Amino acid sequence: MTKSQGRYRVKNLLLTGSLVLFASVAQSQQVVGPATFTPSGPTAQDTIQATYSLISAGCGTSSSTVVMGSVVRTTVFVSGCLIGPPPSTSYLQSTFGPIPSGTYSYEIYEVYEGGAPQLISSQPLVVAPAIPALSPAALAALAFVLVGVGFLAIRRTS
């Protein structure tokens, strides 16, 4: 093998290695589901927070959540990834609601560097009807009435 053939082979190996490294770093940027919800049993009066993971090497992210019928869709936009640092896991959160009671499909989509959206996770989300609560004024009135009834009951027995 001549000296120029050896240099050519080394250049090819370096180029191939660089491309493999770039591809592996690019592939390591991923949103991971399923999400966990807070509160875990949401009602129609709750704001819901979905938490999911991102495995990345320094990527920038933004997200948006929309409700379309019985589908709640969070789209995570991943961009500006750095090449070189080892990937690490971080947690992302999306907040939405309140939404009407019912059974929904919660979907997470990832858009990597402006590409097409890819479905990452789909899971059920059940939102219970809101539990009616008394206003502070009604609660105070109820307490006053109960105290009065208690005094009357004690007075009659003594």
Within a domain: 148: no
User: Which residue would you say has higher pLDDT here, 64 or 25?
Assistant: 64
pLDDT given for residue 25 in this prediction = 43
Percentage above 90 pLDDT, the chain: 46
Q: Would you state the pLDDT for residue 23?
A: 43
Residue 82 lies in a domain: yes
- pLDDT over 80 at 30, yes or no: yes
> If you ran DSSP here, which 8-state letter would residue 145 be given?
H
Does residue 156 sit within a domain?
A: no
> Do the Cβ atoms of 56 and 87 come closer than 8 Å?
yes
20 is a domain residue: yes
Indicate the Cα dihedral angle 54, 95, 79, 34, nearest 10°.
30
Edge-first strand listing for the sheet containing 88-96: 30-38, 48-56, 88-96
152 within some domain: no
Decide if 31 is inside a domain: yes
φ, ψ (nearest 5 deg) of residue 66:
-130, 150
* Domain hosting residue 44, numbered range: 3-130
For residue 46, the model assigns a pLDDT of 96
pLDDT at residue 47 above 60? yes
When divided into structural domains, the chain yields a total of 1
pLDDT at res. 24: 42
In a domain, 151, yes or no: no
User: Residue 56 has what DSSP assignment?
Assistant: E
In a domain, 10, yes or no: yes
Mean pLDDT over 45-71 rounds to 92
The whole-number pLDDT of residue 99 equals 97
Paired residues of 68 in beta bridges: 71
Give per-residue pLDDT as tens, 88-107. Answer: 888 999 999 999 999 999 99
Give one word for 77, left, alpha or beta, with left for phi > 0 and alpha for psi -120 to 50: beta
- C-alpha dihedral over 148, 153, 157, 158, to 10 degrees? -10
Q: 69: left (phi > 0), else alpha (psi -120 to 50), else beta?
A: left
Q: pTM value?
A: 0.68
Whole-number Å distance between alpha carbons of 47 and 72 = 13
List the single range of 43-47, 80-84, 99-103, 142-146 with lowest mean pLDDT: 80-84
